[in-house]
Amino acid sequence: MKLPRDLDAAELIKALARLGYKPVRQTGSHIRLQCDDPVHAITIPNHRPLRVGTLAAIITDVAAQQNMDRATLIKLMQA
């Protein structure tokens, strides 16, 4: 599945909130999200739009932590 090219940090944070990720702090232009089940933290740059490589790395990390493949996670984010 192809990654969205125009996704910004606010939209990504909203999508990850559906999986249980919550913002815990912000330092400069980076926002730290944390999920409690399973415990996992990820940092997202507050950019418009996110670079494709950065977005791909975030999605790969979250998908691995949530025990799902990337395509499934992308579908959940777009729903």
pLDDT per residue of the chain (79 residues) written in tens, 0 to 9: 788 888 899 999 999 999 999 999 999 999 999 999 889 999 999 999 999 999 999 999 999 999 999 999 888 888 7
Would you tell me which CATH number, out of the four given (3.30.920.30, 3.40.50.720, 3.30.1490.390, 3.10.20.30), belongs to the domain 9-74? 3.30.920.30
Distance CA 55, CA 42 (A): 12
Domain boundaries, the chain: 9-74
What is residue 55's predicted lDDT score, i.e. its pLDDT?
A: 94
What is residue 5's predicted lDDT score, i.e. its pLDDT?
A: 86
What is residue 1's predicted lDDT score, i.e. its pLDDT?
A: 73
Task: Supply the pTM of this predicted model.
Answer: 0.89
Residues 6+ apart with CB under 8 A from 41: 24, 32, 33, 34, 35
